[in-house]
Amino acid sequence: MFYIIVFIFGSIWGSFSNVCINRMPYNISVINGRSHCPSCKKQIRWFDNIPLLSYIILKAKCRDCSANIESKYFIVELVSALSFVFIFYLFGFTSTTILFFILSICFLIIIFIDLKHFIIPNEITYTLIAIGFLKSFDPTLNQYLFPNHINSLIGGVVGYLIIWIIIFVYKKLRNKEGMGLGDAKLLSALGFWFGWISIPFILFFSSIVALGFAIPSLMNKSKTMSSQIPFGPYLVLGCVLYLSLLEQIILYLN
């Protein structure tokens, strides 16, 4: 029963994530104004805005104009719901669960916005930075996952500086931007959440994943070495891999 509730709760937050994904890049408020169909501009009725179910019942089409509804909406809601269930399965009724709920929602928003618009909203990264640092003062949190405030602060500073240095050096050598400060802020946020020790692992994992996706595109010439690549999603995946392998990493370091 609890898992069903968590699943529904996650799908609702997935629906809110879709609002953020669609509005944040255009600086539109995410709390004011009803959602509407992008094609006919008519407001979406409440019973056509039920997470997951409405997409299935409407057969992925607008009720008014029959325009196709992007599968992105369903995917975001489903991934959010499943993420919530998985997090709840791992940590149960704890503050760690709430923190990872927040992180998973932010990760979803970052991935879909960066993939389409090549930006990472400051509203998301600054929120993650604030939460990441503030939580480090709570001694009751899972110390296995979250660092104290000293390690958190160092992680945040180191995370930002590493990307900033890469941007600075690349610009000096190539006279153009290689990465964006949004990536620096995101890595800083991850440093605030998981401490300085996480930074090299997140960077390593994200670079490997990015390389794995880039090589086929370079081989079939759909992209070139100078093509713009959103690195935010890879930082997110690198962080997920770091957390998934954290136990093995700790055993290795010890």
pTM value is 0.92
As a whole number of angstroms, the distance between CA 54 and CA 249 comes to 43
Residue 76 and residue 131 in one domain: no
Among the candidates 44, 78, 93, a domain finishes at: 93
As a whole number of angstroms, the distance between CA 64 and CA 174 comes to 51
Residue 194 and residue 74 in one domain: no
Q: Where are the alpha helices (DSSP H) in 118-197?
A: 122-135, 149-174, 181-194
99-120 pLDDT, tens digit each: 999 999 999 999 999 999 999 9
Number of domain units in the chain: 2
Residue 130 and residue 83 in one domain: no
Q: Of residues 47 and 231, which shows the higher confidence score?
A: 231
Residue 244 and residue 139 in one domain: yes
In a domain, 108, yes or no: no
In a domain, 116, yes or no: no
In a domain, 22, yes or no: yes
**Closest-CA residue to 50 (of 70, 73, 83):** 73
Residue 220 and residue 160 in one domain: yes
Among the candidates 76, 93, 110, a domain finishes at: 93
As a whole number of angstroms, the distance between CA 90 and CA 205 comes to 23
4-35 pLDDT, tens digit each: 999 999 999 999 999 999 999 999 988 887 78
Residue 129 and residue 203 in one domain: yes
**pLDDT confidence of residue 234:** 96
Under 8 Å between Cβ of 45 and 29: no
Residue 187 and residue 240 in one domain: yes
Residue 182 and residue 87 in one domain: no
In a domain, 111, yes or no: no
Enumerate residues 6+ apart whose C-beta is below 8 A from 154: 191, 195, 196
Residue 147 and residue 72 in one domain: no
**pLDDT confidence of residue 143:** 79
In a domain, 226, yes or no: yes
**pLDDT confidence of residue 223:** 66
Q: In which band, very low, low, confident or very high, does the pLDDT at 244 lie, cut at 50, 70 and 90?
A: very high
152-203 pLDDT, tens digit each: 999 999 999 999 998 888 888 877 776 789 999 999 999 999 999 999 999 9
In a domain, 49, yes or no: yes
Residue 65 and residue 157 in one domain: no
In a domain, 109, yes or no: no
In a domain, 211, yes or no: yes
Residue 164 and residue 78 in one domain: no
Residue 128 and residue 253 in one domain: yes
The boundaries of the domain holding residue 27 are: 1-93
